[in-house]
Amino acid sequence: MTDRLPHEKGFHVSWDQLHRDARALAWRLQDVAPAGGEWRAVIAITRGGMAPAMIVARELDIRTVDTISVKSYNHQTQSEAQVIKSPDMDLVGDGEGVLIVDDLVDTGRTLKVVRERMPKAHVATVYAKPMGRDMVDTFVTEVSQDTWIFFPWDMALQYVEPYRGA
Ligand SMILES: O=P(O)(O)OC[C@H]1O[C@H](OP(=O)(O)OP(=O)(O)O)[C@H](O)[C@@H]1O
Ligand SMILES: O=c1[nH]c(=O)c2nc[nH]c2[nH]1
Ligand SMILES: [Mg+2]
């Protein structure tokens, strides 16, 4: 991690906030469920999509959960998106009736790779930045492009000096 981060702002998300936002995502997804009202499976984009996918699957009572592993960042530096592990494509098919879940969309490069493999799937993220927003069918909260989202699994509680000092 460099001393000066390339992003102007930080949006720090607690576990509690993530839980509430992922639940809000599930409630939105209920309104756009496929004909018949059931998603066939949830595909989590690892690793960041796993916690939101679990919460969504729990809320919508979806028991079939698989993963696709896409790596595109080393800390805050993006390289080319690579699929490291695919889901069971016999299960997924062209993605019809399948829900793909990730924690966020930023540039949209990760979702571009995923959508190419499952073109008919419904793509949902908890957070979205403007550059990648059109790659997502359903999301909860938008933040500006110059904001870095800090997730609870990347943070720890720590002491903070009082504002007026000692
Ligand atoms: O829209 P993009 O610009 O492609 O960025 C979004 C992706 O980047 C992060 O994943 P990352 O590749 O860092 O892996 P991780 O989920 O394992 O942390 C994040 O969880 C999204 O999956
Ligand atoms: O933790 C993260 N926060 C972000 O804002 C982001 N954008 C891409 N990848 C990201 N990972
Ligand atoms: Mg990710």
When pLDDT is averaged across residues 78-84 and rounded to a whole number, the result is 82
| Percent of the chain surpassing pLDDT 70 | 92
Domain range annotation of the chain = 10-154
Please tell me the CATH code under which domain 10-154 is placed: 3.40.50.2020
Q: What is the pLDDT of residues 9-29, one digit of tens each?
A: 999 999 999 999 999 999 999
pLDDT score of 153 more than 70: yes
pLDDT score of 52 more than 50: yes
CA 75, CA 83: separation in Å to the nearest integer?
18
| Whether the complex's predicted ipTM surpasses the cut of 0.90 | yes
CA 129, CA 148: separation in Å to the nearest integer?
10
pLDDT score of 59 more than 90: yes
Collapsing DSSP states into helix, strand and coil, what is residue 115? helix
Out of 73, 80, 107, 133, give the residue to mutate to test ligand 1, the one with the largest number of ligand atoms within 8 Å of its CB: 73
Closest ligand 1 atom, residue 48 Cα: 16
Binding site annotation covers 47? yes
Out of 46, 73, 131, give the residue to mutate to test ligand 2, the one with the largest number of ligand atoms within 8 Å of its CB: 73
Centroid of ligand 1 to alpha carbon of 36 (angstroms): 32
